[in-house]
Amino acid sequence: MQMGSREGLKIEENVALAPLTTFYIGGPARYMARVASVEGLREALAYAREKELKMLILGGGSNMLVGDDGFDGLVIKIEIAGVEIQKDIEEKESNKVILIAGAGESWDAVVARSVAEGLWGIENLSGIPGTVGGAVVQNIGAYGAAVSEVLEWVEVFDTKTGEVKKIENTACAFDYRESVFKHTSNFVVTRAAFALSRQAKPNLSYKDLAQRFSDGVAETRGSSAPTLVAIREAVLAIRRGKFPDLSVEGTAGSFFKNPILPKPEAEALKQKYPEMPLFAMPETAGVKVPLAFILDKVLGLKGFCVGGARLFENQPLVVAAAHGTRAQDIFDLKDVVMKKVFDETQIKIEPEVKIIL
């Protein structure tokens, strides 16, 4: 690995990308810059323009699949750190607390910090790998909660103007696994603020989570309602049962998006498959059709594999990959699954994972 520099910026060459993603798959980056500040980001962007390089913004690599040939450009790895908790002076009576985190912070570490501080709002999003920046861009959601429900504002660096801007929640165009940041390439997330609360607000709308507490599986710490810690522990336990062990094999979590259909279309599909549940979503007016049900109960694809890639046995929405698997195996698996779903249901599904070629 050769090293270069531009003023205070270090440029690495021929950097293996596989270890920087949770899939552990993909070829090398031609160049890489690790940036820990807005100024470092500014320098990296200037380097890319000077060399006329393609650019790729990388966070925790948890929602990304890199092709076998790697990336022939500059990968800018965002490592902007820092967590700050601010009490909104004007809203003392509402118990509102603002938590601000750098885009390079581990998302789950921020969730753990919020729980330790007694702040409600993101505990149901425990255990999701990746960074704060990626969480905002993807509008991550799980177990009846979504980032968009608590996000106050996002700070971005505008690569076109060179300005740092603050974008309020209403301007983020949030939808199911969608945001303006996925489609506006000149915005790079640098920080984000989340509106949390000291008032207990347990969200047990997700069936598996509610079941754990109603059955007494999860500890309620002697209270009639589950505690923050108990909810986080329960979410982590559920996730452990549904996702592969990253120390054994690679995954990017849910590989496909669940289809979101207008209510009449979703109900018509349910008439065809009466046992299929439907879910209202916090981010959209549409109805979520559980793709896992279609893959498992309708198509019988649990464990279906192509090469070293397969639909995970405990949750077929997840693609798991043995170490050493080629990206092409996953591409081929994706194509087969998408075709089978369409042939059976006429629904065009799409990957949730960002594919880098």
For the annotated catalytic residues, the residue numbers are 177, 254, 352
State how far the Cα of 308 lies from the Cα of 330, in Å rounded to an integer: 8
Cβ-contact 97, 197 below 8 angstroms = yes
Beta strand residue intervals within 216-275, DSSP E: 250-254, 260-261
State how far the Cα of 129 lies from the Cα of 81, in Å rounded to an integer: 16
Cβ-contact 199, 225 below 8 angstroms = no
CA dist 54 to 21, 27, 160, Å?
Answer: 19, 16, 15
Q: Six-digit token pair at 211?
A: 């079941």
Cβ-contact 9, 39 below 8 angstroms = no
Cβ-contact 57, 27 below 8 angstroms = no
Position 7, amino acid? E
Beta-bridge mates of residue 203:
none
DSSP 153: E
Q: Six-digit token pair at 96?
A: 């509102």
Chain-centroid distance of CA 114 in Å reads 18
Sole residue written with tokens 């390439």 = 185
Compute the Cα dihedral for 163, 164, 169, 172 and give only its sign. positive
